[in-house]
C-alpha cells in the first residue's frame, strides 16, 4: 500500500448524517476530496452540500430523513443499500443542543437531544453492523463525540449526557466488532464554527473567554473535522478501534 493510497477513499461509499450544514457538510466535502462517494442524509435541503461536493469533483446522493423518528432511522439503511449499494463507511454526525439551566431543562428538551444525538446514532450503528456482519463485509464507523464527552459543560445537561453516551457506544461496539473487520472510532470536536455554536459566538464575552483558552487561537472549521474523519475512514487507521480523536485546537491540553 502506497503512502497516498493509505489516506484515499477512492471507490468507497460513505454515509454522513446531518450533512446539510456545518460539520456534516465539512465531512461530506472532505470525503469527496479524498475520492469517496457521499451519501448525504439530512432533514432539510442538501442543495448547498451537493453544490460543494460536486465543485470538489465528487459524487453525492442526498437522502431526506428525520433522524428523530426512530422508525425512519431503522429503514434508512435499507433505502440506501437498495438505491446506492453497500456502504463502506458511516459517519454519525447529526445532533442538536438545547441550552438551559439544569433546574429548568424540560423533559421534552431532554428527550429531543437524547433521541437524536444518542439513540439515532446507536440505531444506525446497529443497523449498519447487522448488514456488515450478515454480508461478511468490512466497514468503518465514525461517531461525532464532543469535548463534553470528557467535561461537564454548563447549561447543556442533555447534550453532555448524549455525548458521554456516544463515546460509550463507540467503545462497546469496537469491543464487539473489531475482530469482524469493523472499525468503530470517534472524533471529539472542539469549538467549531457551526449552527450549534452560533449563540456562543454571538456572545462577545463568552467567545473571547473560549478563544483565550484555545492554544491554536481560533475557532475550528468544519474542514478541520472533515479531514480527521477521512483519516478514520481510510486504510491508514486500520488498527484503530474504540479510539476518540480530539480535534480541538489544543483545548483539552490546557
Active site residues: 159
Question: What's the grid cell of residue 133?
Answer: 456482519
User: Is-contact 137 148, C-beta < 8 A?
Assistant: no
User: Residue 18: which residues within 8 A CB-CB, separation 6 or more?
Assistant: 24, 41, 42, 67, 93, 94, 95
State the Cα–Cα distance between residues 224 and 171, nearest whole angstrom: 23
State the Cα–Cα distance between residues 208 and 194, nearest whole angstrom: 17
State the Cα–Cα distance between residues 180 and 92, nearest whole angstrom: 20
Residues in the chain, total: 254
Cα torsion 115, 117, 122, 127 to 10°: value is 90
State the Cα–Cα distance between residues 19 and 26, nearest whole angstrom: 8
Q: In what order do the strands lie in the sheet with 182-189?
A: 59-64, 37-42, 13-17, 89-92, 139-144, 182-189, 244-247
* DSSP code per residue over 18-64: TTTSHHHHHHHHHHHHTTPEEEEEESS--HHHHHHHHHTT-EEEEEE
Amino acid at each position: 500500500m502506497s503512502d497516498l493510497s493509505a489516506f484515499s477513499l477512492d471507490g468507497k461509499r460513505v454515509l454522513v448524517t446531518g450533512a446539510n450544514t456545518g460539520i456534516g457538510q465539512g465531512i461530506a466535502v472532505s470525503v469527496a476530496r479524498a475520492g469517496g462517494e457521499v451519501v448525504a442524509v439530512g432533514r432539510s435541503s442538501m442543495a448547498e452540500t451537493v453544490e460543494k461536493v460536486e465543485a470538489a469533483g465528487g459524487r453525492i446522493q442526498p437522502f431526506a430523513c428525520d433522524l428523530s423518528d426512530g422508525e425512519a432511522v431503522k429503514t434508512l439503511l435499507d433505502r440506501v443499500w437498495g438505491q446506492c449499494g453497500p456502504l463502506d463507511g458511516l459517519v454519525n454526525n447529526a445532533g442538536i443542543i438545547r441550552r438551559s439551566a439544569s433546574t429548568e431543562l424540560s423533559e421534552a428538551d431532554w428527550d429531543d437531544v437524547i433521541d437524536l444525538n444518542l439513540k439515532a446514532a446507536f440505531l444506525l450503528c446497529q443497523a449498519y453492523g447487522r448488514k456488515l456482519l450478515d454480508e461478511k463485509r468490512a466497514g468503518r464507523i465514525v461517531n461525532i463525540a464532543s469535548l463534553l464527552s470528557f467535561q461537564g459543560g454548563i447549561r447543556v445537561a442533555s447534550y453532555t449526557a448524549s455525548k458521554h453516551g456516544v463515546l460509550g457506544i463507540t467503545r462497546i461496539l469496537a469491543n464487539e466488532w473489531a475482530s469482524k473487520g469493523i472499525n468503530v472510532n470517534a472524533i471529539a470536536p472542539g469549538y467549531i464554527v457551526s449552527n450549534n455554536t452560533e449563540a456562543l459566538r454571538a456572545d462577545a464575552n463568552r467567545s473571547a473567554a473560549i478563544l483565550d483558552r484555545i492554544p491554536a487561537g481560533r475557532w475550528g472549521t468544519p474542514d478541520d473535522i472533515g479531514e480527521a474523519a477521512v483519516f478514520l475512514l481510510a486504510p491508514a487507521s486500520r488498527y484503530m478501534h474504540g479510539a476518540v480523536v480530539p480535534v480541538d485546537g489544543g483545548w483539552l491540553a490546557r
